[in-house]
Structure 1
Amino acid sequence: MNMKNINKYLYLILLGSFTACTYDFPEEVIQEPTAGEANFTKMISVGNSLTAGFMDGALYTRSQDNSFAVILSDQMVPVGGGAFNVPNINSVNGFFGLAPDGQTPLGRLILTVNPQTGATGPAPIGLGEIPTAFTGDKSALNNFGVSGSTLLTSLIPQTGGPNVPQNPAFNPLYARFASNPGESTIIGDAAAALGNGGTFFTFWLGSNDVLGYALGGASNPAILTSNINFEQRLSLALGTMLQANPEAKGAVANIPNLNVLPYFNLVPWNALPLDQGTAAFVNQAYLQYNGGLAQLAGMGLITEAEKTRRTIVFKAGQNGFVMADKNLTDLTGFGLPSIRQSNNTDKPVLTLSTALGVAVGGNPQLVRGVSFPVEDSFVLTQMEQEESQAKITAFNALIAAAVQASSNRLVLVDVNNFLNQVLQGQVNAGGASLTASIIPPNGGFSVDGVHPNARSHAFIANLFIDAINAKWGANIPKSNPNAYPGNDLPVGG
Structure 2
Amino acid sequence: MKFINRIKYLVVLGFLASCSYEFPAPDIQEPTSGSADMSKIISVGNSLTAGFMDGALYTRGQQNSFAVILADQAKVVGAGDFNVPDINSVNGYYAMGPQGPLGRLVLRVNPTTGAAAPAPIGPGELPAPFTGNKAALNNFGVPGITLGTALTPLTGGPASAENPAYNPLYARFASNPGTSTIIGDAATALGNGGTFFTFWLGNNDVLGYAIGGASNPAILTSDADFTQRLGLALGAMLQANAQAKGAVANIPSLAVLPYFNLVPWNALPLDAGTAAAVNQGYAQYNGGLLQLQAMGAITAEEVALRTINFTAGQNGFVMHDKHLTDLTQYGLPSIRQSNNTDKATLTLSQALGQPVGGDPQQVRGVSSPVEDSFVLTKIEQDEVSGKITSFNNIIAAAVQSNAERLVLVDVNALLTRVLQGQVSSGGVGLTASIVPPNGGFSLDGVHPNARAHAFVANEFIKAINQKWGANIPMANPNAYMGNDLPM
The bucket for the TM-score relative to the shorter chain is: over 0.9
Cα distance in 2 between the residues matched to 1:65 and 1:29: 25
Asked if 1:32 is matched to 2:30, the reply is yes
Q: Matched residue of 1:234: which SS?
A: helix
Post-superposition offset of 1:359: 1.2
Post-superposition offset of 1:25: 2.4
Cα distance in 2 between the residues matched to 1:16 and 1:364: 37
**Residue from 206, 214, 219 that aligns with 2:215:** 219
The one-letter amino acid of 1:289's match is: Y
2:477 maps to which residue? 481
Alignment of 1:248-263 (within 5 A): 248-263=244-259
2:62 maps to which residue? 64
Q: Matched residue of 2:309: which SS?
A: coil
Asked if 1:449 is matched to 2:445, the reply is yes
Post-superposition offset of 1:27: 3.3
Alignment of 1:185-264 (within 5 A): 185-264=181-260
Post-superposition offset of 1:28: 4.3
Cα distance in 2 between the residues matched to 1:10 and 1:111: 13
Post-superposition offset of 1:118: 1.7
Alignment of 1:117-128 (within 5 A): 117-128=113-124
2:92 maps to which residue? 94
Cα distance in 1 between the residues matched to 2:53 and 2:281: 43
| Contact 2:151-2:183 within 8 A present in 1 as well | yes
The one-letter amino acid of 1:384's match is: E
Percent identical pairs in the alignment equals: 72
Cα distance in 2 between the residues matched to 1:245 and 1:213: 34
1:434 maps to which residue? 430
2:462 maps to which residue? 466
Per-residue CA deviations over 1:162-216 (Å, capped at 9, x if unaligned) read 0000000000000000000000000000000000000000000000000110011
Post-superposition offset of 1:29: 4.5
1:401 maps to which residue? 397
Cα distance in 2 between the residues matched to 1:20 and 1:92: 29
Per-residue CA deviations over 1:198-243 (Å, capped at 9, x if unaligned) read 0000000000000110011001100000000000000000000000
The answer for unaligned runs of 5 or more in structure 2 is: none
Cα distance in 2 between the residues matched to 1:185 and 1:52: 16
Q: How many residues align?
A: 487
Alignment of 1:338-417 (within 5 A): 338-417=334-413
1:3 maps to which residue? 3
The one-letter amino acid of 2:63's match is: D
| Contact 2:14-2:435 within 8 A present in 1 as well | no
Post-superposition offset of 1:383: 0.4
Q: Matched residue of 1:73: which SS?
A: helix
Report which stretch shifted further, 146-155 or 104-113: 104-113
| Contact 1:11-1:119 within 8 A present in 2 as well | no
Per-residue CA deviations over 1:366-410 (Å, capped at 9, x if unaligned) read 111000100001000000000000000000000000000000000
The one-letter amino acid of 2:86's match is: N
Post-superposition offset of 1:12: 2.8
Asked if 1:329 is matched to 2:325, the reply is yes
**Residue from 61, 74, 84 that aligns with 2:82:** 84
The one-letter amino acid of 1:393's match is: T
Cα distance in 1 between the residues matched to 2:486 and 2:278: 36
Cα distance in 2 between the residues matched to 1:104 and 1:88: 22
The one-letter amino acid of 1:3's match is: F
Cα distance in 2 between the residues matched to 1:486 and 1:39: 31
User: 1:79–1:380: structure 2 CA closer, same or farther, 3 Å change rule?
Assistant: same
How much is the aligned-residue C-alpha RMSD, in angstroms? Answer: 1.0
Cα distance in 1 between the residues matched to 2:151 and 2:10: 38
Cα distance in 1 between the residues matched to 2:231 and 2:27: 41
Post-superposition offset of 1:17: 3.8
| Contact 1:10-1:272 within 8 A present in 2 as well | no
Cα distance in 2 between the residues matched to 1:30 and 1:351: 49
Cα distance in 1 between the residues matched to 2:71 and 2:246: 13
Post-superposition offset of 1:26: 5.1
The answer for unaligned runs of 5 or more in structure 1 is: none
| Contact 1:12-1:353 within 8 A present in 2 as well | no
Q: Matched residue of 1:448: which SS?
A: coil
Alignment of 1:288-327 (within 5 A): 288-327=284-323
Cα distance in 2 between the residues matched to 1:428 and 1:481: 9
Post-superposition offset of 1:18: 4.2
The one-letter amino acid of 1:434's match is: L
| Contact 2:101-2:124 within 8 A present in 1 as well | yes
Q: So what's the TM-score if we normalise by structure 1? A: 0.97
| Contact 1:45-1:202 within 8 A present in 2 as well | yes
Q: Matched residue of 2:340: which SS?
A: coil
Post-superposition offset of 1:14: 2.4
Cα distance in 2 between the residues matched to 1:118 and 1:13: 10
Cα distance in 2 between the residues matched to 1:25 and 1:352: 40
Cα distance in 1 between the residues matched to 2:27 and 2:104: 41
User: 1:474–1:17: structure 2 CA closer, same or farther, 3 Å change rule?
Assistant: closer
